[in-house]
C-alpha cells in the first residue's frame, strides 16, 4: 500500500455532508428520504407478489464468515428431548416438552444494518455527535432509531457479478457509480432517486460456499471511493445501500490503502444506512430469468438496546 499520509479528514474535506439537515437530534439520516411516497413507489414495483428473504444463516456449525477482528455467532442448545430423557428438564403440566436454545454473537451478526454511529473519524459521529457517546453503549446514532423506523421502499437489484459475466467478483475488484448506472441500463431497470440499492457481487455466496476464505489479508470487492461517487449517492438521495459483502465496499482504497472510506463518506457524512452481508443470489437468479430487478424492500433490524447494529432478515416482494 501507498505510504501517502492522506487521512479521511483531508480526503473528505470537500465531500458532501448532511449533518444538521434533519435537525440536531436526527439519528436515522437518509432513512428520512423514505416516506409514504417512497413506500408507495416500492409497492408499485410489485408484480407477481412473490417474496424473497435476504438474510444469511446465523450461527452455522462451520462458523459464519465475519469481518477480521470479529468472531462467528454460535448456537447452543439449552433444552432438547435428550435433556428431558436425562432428567434435566421435566414436562409441563399436561405433557408438553420443549427445545430451547441460545445464541451469542456480534450485534452485527449475519445480515445486518450498521447504526449510523458505528464508525467515525475526527472524534465525531453522524450528525456531529461526539465519539464519546459510544462509550459503554450507543447513546446517539445507535441502531434503535433505525429499528424503530424500519426500512421500506423501492429496492433495485444491481447484479454486478452477472453484468461482468462472473460468478463472483474477485478479491479487491472495484465498482464505481458508473458501473451501477451501466448495470442498471443493461438490466433495463432505472435507479430512481431514493431507491434502496442492492448491489450483488456474488461474494457472500463465494464465502458461504467455501470458494473464498477470510484471511489476514482479506480484501473484499466492492464500491470504491471517489468524490464523484459520493456526490452521486448524495444527489440520488440513496437511503440505504445493501450488498452481499461483509462491509459494503472494497476493503482498502487501491490508491491510498485507506480502509472503509465509504463508511466515512456515505454513512458518517451522508447518513446512508448500510445493510451488509445480504443474500442476493436467489433473487438474482430469478431476476436474471424474468428481467424484473425492482420491488418492495421491507425490513427492520433487531432493536438492540444501545446497539451499534442489528441483525435483519429483509423481505423483498416483487
- Binding to its own copies, residues 21-40 (CB under 8 A): 36-37, 39-40
User: Cell digits for 104?
Assistant: 451469542
Contact pick of 103, 186, 227, 235 for its own copies (by CB under 8 A): 103
The kind and range of the H/E element at 76 are strand 74-79
- Smallest gap, in angstroms, from Cβ of residue 186 to its own copies? 28
The reply on whether position 278 binds its own copies by CB under 8 A is no
- Smallest gap, in angstroms, from Cβ of residue 176 to its own copies? 19
Whole-angstrom Cα distance, residue 120 to residue 18?
15
- Smallest gap, in angstroms, from Cβ of residue 104 to its own copies? 4
CB atoms inside a 10 Å sphere around CB 190: 12
Tell me the site size for its own copies, rule CB under 8 A.
Answer: 116
Whole-angstrom Cα distance, residue 176 to residue 193?
17
The reply on whether position 78 binds its own copies by CB under 8 A is yes
Residues 6+ apart with CB under 8 A from 43: 296
The reply on whether position 99 binds its own copies by CB under 8 A is yes
Whole-angstrom Cα distance, residue 227 to residue 236?
14
Q: Which of residues 181-220 bind its own copies (CB under 8 A)?
A: none
* Strand-pair category, 151-159 with 294-299: antiparallel
**Best CA proximity match to 278, nearest among 232, 238, 313, 309:** 313
Q: Which of residues 226-245 bind its own copies (CB under 8 A)?
A: none
The reply on whether position 55 binds its own copies by CB under 8 A is yes
The reply on whether position 63 binds its own copies by CB under 8 A is yes
Q: Which of residues 151-180 bind its own copies (CB under 8 A)?
A: 152
Per-residue interface string for the shown chain with its own copies, residues 112-151, x marking contact by CB under 8 A: ---x-xxxxxxx-------xxxxxxxxx----x--xxxx-
Amino acid at each position: 500500500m501507498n505510504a501517502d499520509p492522506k487521512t479521511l479528514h483531508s480526503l473528505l474535506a470537500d465531500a458532501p455532508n448532511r449533518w444538521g439537515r434533519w435537525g440536531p437530534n436526527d439519528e436515522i439520516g437518509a432513512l428520512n428520504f423514505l416516506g409514504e411516497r417512497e413506500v408507495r413507489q416500492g409497492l408499485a414495483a410489485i408484480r407477481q407478489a412473490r417474496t424473497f428473504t435476504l438474510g444469511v444463516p446465523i450461527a452455522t456449525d462451520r462458523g459464519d464468515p465475519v469481518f477480521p477482528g470479529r468472531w462467528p455467532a454460535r448456537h447452543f442448545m439449552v433444552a432438547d428431548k435428550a435433556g428431558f430423557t436425562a432428567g434435566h428438564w421435566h414436562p409441563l403440566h399436561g405433557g408438553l416438552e420443549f427445545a430451547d436454545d441460545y445464541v451469542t454473537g456480534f450485534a452485527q451478526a449475519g445480515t445486518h444494518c450498521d447504526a449510523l454511529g458505528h464508525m467515525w473519524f475526527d472524534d465525531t459521529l453522524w450528525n456531529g455527535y461526539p465519539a464519546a457517546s459510544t462509550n459503554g453503549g450507543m447513546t446517539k446514532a445507535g441502531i434503535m432509531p433505525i429499528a424503530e423506523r424500519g426500512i421500506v421502499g423501492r429496492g433495485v437489484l444491481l447484479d454486478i457479478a452477472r453484468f461482468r459475466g462472473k460468478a463472483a467478483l474477485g478479491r479487491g475488484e472495484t465498482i464505481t457509480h458508473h458501473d451501477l448506472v451501466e448495470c442498471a441500463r443493461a438490466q433495463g431497470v432505472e435507479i430512481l432517486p431514493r431507491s434502496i440499492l442492492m448491489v450483488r457481487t456474488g461474494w457472500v455466496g463465494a464465502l458461504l460456499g467455501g470458494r473464498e476464505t477470510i484471511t489476514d489479508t482479506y480484501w473484499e470487492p466492492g464500491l470504491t471511493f471517489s468524490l464523484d461517487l459520493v456526490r452521486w449517492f448524495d444527489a440520488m438521495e440513496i437511503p440505504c445501500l445493501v450488498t452481499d459483502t461483509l462491509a459494503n465496499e472494497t476493503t482498502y482504497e487501491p490508491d491510498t490503502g485507506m480502509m472503509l472510506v465509504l463508511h466515512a463518506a456515505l454513512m458518517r457524512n451522508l447518513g446512508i444506512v448500510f445493510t451488509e452481508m445480504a443474500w442476493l443470489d436467489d433473487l438474482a437468479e430469478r431476476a436474471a430469468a424474468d428481467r424484473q430487478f425492482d420491488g418492495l424492500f421491507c425490513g427492520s433490524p433487531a432493536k438492540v438496546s444501545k446497539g451499534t447494529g442489528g441483525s435483519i432478515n429483509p423481505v423483498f416482494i416483487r
